[in-house]
Every structure is written in C-alpha cells, then in structure tokens.
Amino acid sequence: MENQAAVNIEATSESKVTMGVRYLLAVMMIVFGANKFLQFLPMPPANDQVAQVFGSLMLMGILPIVGILEVVGGILLALKKAVPATLIVLGAIGFNAVLFHATLDPAGIGGAIGFTAMIIYLAYVYRAKFAPLFK
C-alpha cells in the first residue's frame, strides 16, 4: 500500500515550470508532427542539399514515421503517460534535428536547440526513472 501511495504522490507532484515545459513540448510535437502530413505551416526556401535530404527522407518513408512519432509523443507528453520512454524517442529526433541544422541549415538551428533543451530539462526532472538504465 505504501508503494502505491508513493506512486500517486509522485504522479501528481510536478512543478508549474515542468508542467509548462511538458505541455509546450507536447504542443510543438503535435503541431510539427501533424505538419509533416498536412503541410499547414509554410516552409522557408530550402537550398539544394536540404531539398535532397527531405526528398530522400520522404522517398524512404522516414519522414512520415518521424511525424507519427512526434504526434504520438506529443499526445503522451500531454497526458503525462510514459514520459521517460517518450523522452528517449524524442531525444533521438531532437539530436538529429540539431545535427541537421548545424550541417545543412544553420539559420534554423534555434528551434532545434530549444526543442532539444526542453527534452534535456524534462529528462533531468525524470532522471530517477532513467537510473535503472545505468546500473
């Protein structure tokens, strides 16, 4: 019984900053993930290398998978379900976004760094959940 009470207390105790970051990241993931299918956000003009990379990702079916992962991850974050596992998946996406922008589109790196910083912050908040991975 005591373990159940501890789990319930842990599940409800979240600072307003953490909750705000989690919700902001969730909204970003849902919007940008959905945009991969619905294309409602205007894309800035891309150089030839960026166009080739995105063309290849679409052709191989990777971009739709990333879109699905972003939407599902955003929903899970909003519902506060499986947050640590979601952060692992979104962390990989964020890392790749930073590398993509650092190498091919430096002008757009700010958003990727902000996205990744939110993931790192939440991973730090949930660090106790990651501890068993490093034993």
Judge whether 11 lies within some domain: no
Q: Give the pLDDT score at 4.
A: 53
Judge whether 7 lies within some domain: no
Q: Give the pLDDT score at 3.
A: 53
Judge whether 85 lies within some domain: yes
Q: What is the mean pLDDT of the chain?
A: 91
Distance (Å, whole) CA 28 – CA 93: 13
Judge whether 5 lies within some domain: no
pLDDT digit string, tens, across residues 46-61: 889 999 999 999 999 9
Distance (Å, whole) CA 11 – CA 5: 10
pLDDT digit string, tens, across residues 6-35: 444 445 578 999 999 999 999 999 999 999
pTM for the full model? 0.86
Count of domains forming the chain: 1
Q: Compute the 3-state secondary structure of the chain and give helix, strand, coil in percent, each to the nearest 5.
A: 85, 0, 15
Judge whether 102 lies within some domain: yes
Judge whether 88 lies within some domain: yes
- Residue 43 phi, psi dihedral angles, 5° rounding: -95, 135
Distance (Å, whole) CA 31 – CA 9: 31
Range of the domain at 62: 16-38+48-128
Distance (Å, whole) CA 60 – CA 35: 18
